[in-house]
């Protein structure tokens, strides 16, 4: 069985998408007041950091950034491994009353975001939670939609989106693989 691989985004296109998303976040929220970014481990963490830098370039103010591990909140964690790897959550600020931009690399079924919402509310009561994703691949199982999206596409179950980020993989690109 051969895999068909197609590049969806290269480094420049990822950067351009994040710039547009940063502008959209600022426009929708009328600036940075009360705004903070929380990246979902793993892919959402560097994207949240990049969005923070883009927002600072535009507004001169860098919103707070946190890291959220959702391992034990997933509804499938027991099927993934008997001993799941739990990494740290680092949200060094109060989220109470704040506008949280939850950041992830890909949204597919919506289950990761549901788990992230459960995890996040253990840290406080945000005023509002919005979702920013680099890739929306459709086919939701839960009624969860991103507020800010880099690229949207319809995929089939035999397709997989792989996001490679410099901070994790040493390169920036988004690939669509079909088996």
Residue 76 has pLDDT above 60, yes or no: no
Q: Look at residue 177 and tell me if it is in a domain.
A: no
Whether 88 has a pLDDT exceeding 60, the answer reads yes
Average pLDDT, rounded, for the chain: 93
What pLDDT does 84 receive?
59
Mean of the pLDDT values across residues 93-102?
Answer: 98
Q: Which two tokens stand for residue 31?
A: 């600036």
CATH of the domain at 107: 3.40.50.2020
12 occurs within a structural domain: no
Q: Considering the entire predicted model, what is its pTM? A: 0.93
Q: 78 versus 29: which is more confidently predicted?
A: 29
Phi, psi of 74 (to 5 degrees): -70, 145
Torsion on CA atoms 54, 60, 64, 66, rounded to nearest 10: 20
DSSP letter for each residue of 30-60: TSSTTEEEEEETTTHHHHHHHHHHHHHHHHS
Q: What is the pLDDT of residue 3?
A: 87
Contacts of 107 (CB under 8 A, 6+ apart): 113, 131, 133, 135, 136, 137, 140, 144, 146
Average pLDDT over residues 9-15: 98
- Asked if pLDDT for residue 77 goes beyond 80, the answer is no
User: Is 148 inside a domain boundary?
Assistant: yes
For 116, the domain range is 34-158
Share of the chain above pLDDT 70, in %: 92
Section 105-113 average pLDDT: 95
Q: Does 130 map to a domain?
A: yes
Within-domain flag for 171: no
| Total residues belonging to the chain | 179
Inside any domain, residue 150: yes
Task: Tell me the average pLDDT across 124-133.
Answer: 98
3-state secondary structure of 71: helix
Number of separate domains in the chain: 1
Is the residue at 15 inside a domain?
Answer: no
Mean pLDDT in residue range 131-139: 96
Look at residue 176 and tell me if it is in a domain. Answer: no
Strand stretches in the chain, DSSP E: 4-9, 35-40, 64-68, 99-107, 128-136, 148-152, 159-164, 173-178
């Amino acid at each position: 069985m051969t895999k068909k691989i197609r590049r969806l985004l290269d480094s420049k296109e990822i950067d351009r998408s994040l710039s547009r998303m940063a502008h959209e976040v600022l426009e929708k929220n009328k600036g940075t007041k009360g705004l903070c970014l929380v990246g979902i481990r793993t892919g959402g963490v560097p994207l949240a950091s990049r969005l923070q830098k883009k927002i600072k370039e535009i507004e001169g103010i860098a919103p707070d950034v946190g890291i959220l591990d959702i391992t034990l909140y997933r509804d499938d964690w027991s099927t993934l491994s008997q001993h799941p790897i739990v990494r740290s959550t680092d949200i060094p600020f109060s989220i109470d009353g704040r506008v949280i931009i939850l950041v992830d690399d890909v949204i597919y079924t919506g289950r990761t975001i549901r788990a992230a919402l459960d995890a996040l509310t253990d840290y406080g009561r945000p005023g509002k939670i919005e979702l920013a994703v680099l890739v929306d691949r459709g086919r939701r199982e839960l009624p969860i939609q991103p507020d800010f999206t880099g690229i949207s596409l319809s995929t089939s179950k035999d397709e997989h989106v792989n996001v490679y980020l410099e901070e994790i993989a040493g390169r920036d690109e988004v690939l669509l693989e079909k088996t």
